[in-house]
């Protein structure tokens, strides 16, 4: 099983690295997947992350899920039709789709939220609700294959639920 962690400029450091390292620690193949604009992306603080592979060079069937971090990166990620298609295909197969903080923006653009229960950073709550999702203000929300959290402080429970989902599916 391979899990993609999406990367783009202005990502939130903890929301990229914490899940990436936690899944690797659990023995899960985890890669940084980017839109292919360049090979290295910088966090809001300038911390680099190297794209392992571009979304243009992968088949979504080879992945067991995707993690969408926050920061301002999702505003750039949602502009990539390939990223949106990748997320939509992962979701349509019932594979893991996990988003934290502003990562919900990608879910909005992928049109995978209608009728789902989710949480997100408070600043994008209206976007989530306008996408026909039910917003729930709690640290983590699990709705079948969709796992969402609000902010970096929620990362321990976010990753716990991601690992629980992946264990159930294997």
Question: Whole-model pTM?
Answer: 0.97
The catalytic residue among 56, 102, 120, 159 is 102
- CATH code 3.40.50.880 for 2-169: yes
Catalytic (active site) residue 101: yes
Dihedrals φ, ψ of 147, to 5°? -120, 125
The pLDDT tens digits for 11-55 are 999 999 999 999 999 999 999 999 999 999 999 999 999 999 999
The pLDDT tens digits for 122-159 are 999 999 999 999 999 999 999 999 999 999 999 999 99
Domain boundaries, the chain: 2-169
Instruction: Work out the widest C-alpha separation in the chain, in whole angstroms.
Output: 38
CA–CA separation, 24 vs 29, rounded Å?
6
Collapsing DSSP states into helix, strand and coil, what is residue 63?
coil
Catalytic (active site) residue 159: no
The catalytic residue among 56, 101, 120, 159 is 101
In sequence order, the β-bridge partners of residue 149 are 100, 140
Collapsing DSSP states into helix, strand and coil, what is residue 49?
strand
The pLDDT tens digits for 57-76 are 899 999 999 999 999 999 99
């Amino acid at each position: 099983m391979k899990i993609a962690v999406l990367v783009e400029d202005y990502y939130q450091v903890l929301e990229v690295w914490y899940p990436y390292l936690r899944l690797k620690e659990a023995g899960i193949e985890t890669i940084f997947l980017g839109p292919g604009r360049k090979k290295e992306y910088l966090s809001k603080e300038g911390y680099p992350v190297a794209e392992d592979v571009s979304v243009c060079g992968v088949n979504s069937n080879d992945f067991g899920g995707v993690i969408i971090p926050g920061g301002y990166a999702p505003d750039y990620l949602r502009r990539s039709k390939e990223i949106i298609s990748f997320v939509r295909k992962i979701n349509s197969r019932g594979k893991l789709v996990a988003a934290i903080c502003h990562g919900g923006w990608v879910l909005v653009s992928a049109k995978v939220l209608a009728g789902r229960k989710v949480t997100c950073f408070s600043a994008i709550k209206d976007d989530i609700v306008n996408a026909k999702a039910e917003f729930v203000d709690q640290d983590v929300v699990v709705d079948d294959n969709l796992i969402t959290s609000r902010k970096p402080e929620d990362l321990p429970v976010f990753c716990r639920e991601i690992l629980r989902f992946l264990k159930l599916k294997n």
